[in-house]
């Protein structure tokens, strides 16, 4: 695998779908999209799961685990990557 795209989120229901769509509709396909969620309570995980179900060819891997900060979340996510390169993409960001 060439790239691992990492998105950390916490209560980002108004922004996460934009990021998911941006990654999904890229023409490059040798990637995984790791979403590390800190335990959202606003419906963020519902949006992620709906997107995954509606787009079965997606490459989204979701981890839900409490963290102490955005940087702690990023470090937790790095432990899960398989790609040769890592790209951090915040909720709401687009390619």
pLDDT tens string 4-52? 999 999 999 999 999 999 999 999 999 999 999 999 999 999 999 999 9
pLDDT for 74 equals: 96
pLDDT for 56 equals: 87
SS3 content of the chain, % helix, strand, coil (to 5): 30, 25, 45
pLDDT, tens only, 58-76:
899 999 999 999 999 999 9
Q: Which two tokens stand for residue 80?
A: 């899960």
The whole-angstrom separation of Cα 69 and Cα 50 is 26
pLDDT for 41 equals: 97
Q: Which CATH class is domain 3-88?
A: alpha beta
Residue 22 DSSP one-character state: H
């Amino acid at each position: 695998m060439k790239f691992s795209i990492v998105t950390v989120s916490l209560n980002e229901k108004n922004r996460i779908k934009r990021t998911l769509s941006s990654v999904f509709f890229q023409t490059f396909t040798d990637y995984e999209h790791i979403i590390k969620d800190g335990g959202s309570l606003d419906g963020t995980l519902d949006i992620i799961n709906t997107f995954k179900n509606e787009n079965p060819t997606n490459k989204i891997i979701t981890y839900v685990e409490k963290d102490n900060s955005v940087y702690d979340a990023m470090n937790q996510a790095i432990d899960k990557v398989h790609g040769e390169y890592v790209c951090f993409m915040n909720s709401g960001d687009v390619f």
